[in-house]
Amino acid sequence: TVDLYRNADVKVGAFLSEGVDSSFLTALLDPDEVFSIGFDDSTYDEASKAKALADINGWHFYADKVYSEEAMRDFPEMQYHMDEPDANPSIIPLWYLCKLARKHVTVALSGEGADELFAGYVNYGMHTHNNVIKVFTDKLKKLPKGKRVKLAHKIKKMPNFPGKVHLYTNLAEPSEF
């Protein structure tokens, strides 16, 4: 669980984008330092929204920008370290994100791969009738009341993102607030 990573004997950071996965894990961890990667093409740049979230929560924000020429130059090295070919385009920003984080922390949490659980994106079936979402929200409801309410308040402060209302409303009953 996220709580286990707080007990490290080194500084722990978190990777932060505008997505539900990293935003949720970062809110749970409540680290001092967060890291984000922007792009030279503003269509894919989530760093500004990540910074807004970091500012709301008082996290120290580090960001860098990936340029297409740089990514093309470094791509063979990325593939080498992957130990196998990988067609997922997220490895490119993840590569630079890890390099940035390593300058400041030894351990960093990532929301990588959690989209399906956090119901963040339409292509993963974000609706309340999804069995995966029901299982996840049932687990959330088993957290102690204090943690659920604290987490709900953090989610409420976040900028809007797909799945925000679903996560917020499933953390606790209205009477618990």
- Indicate whether 88 and 66 sit together in one domain: yes
Predicted model pTM: 0.65
Is 74 domain-assigned? yes
Q: What is the pLDDT of residue 125?
A: 46
CA separation for the pair 121, 45 (Å, rounded): 17
Q: What is the pLDDT of residue 161?
A: 67
- Indicate whether 45 and 84 sit together in one domain: yes
Is 116 domain-assigned? no
Q: What is the pLDDT of residue 22?
A: 85
Sequential pLDDT tens for the chain (177 residues): 787 877 888 889 999 988 777 888 898 899 989 999 988 877 777 888 899 999 999 999 999 999 988 988 998 898 888 877 766 777 888 999 999 999 999 999 987 766 555 444 554 444 444 555 566 667 777 888 888 888 888 888 888 766 677 777 777 666 665
Q: Domain with 102 in it: what CATH number?
A: 3.40.50.620
In angstroms and rounded to an integer, the radius of gyration of the C-alpha atoms of the chain is 17
Which of 68, 83, 109 is the C-terminal boundary of a domain?
Answer: 109
Is 117 domain-assigned? no
Q: What dihedral do alpha carbons 125, 127, 132, 133 form, nearest 10°?
A: 130
Tokens 């990540």, residue located: 50
Domain that holds residue 74: 2-109
Is 115 domain-assigned? no
- Indicate whether 141 and 79 sit together in one domain: no
- Indicate whether 27 and 49 sit together in one domain: yes
Q: What is the pLDDT of residue 171?
A: 75
Phi and psi of 64, rounded to 5°? -140, 170
Domain tally, the chain: 2
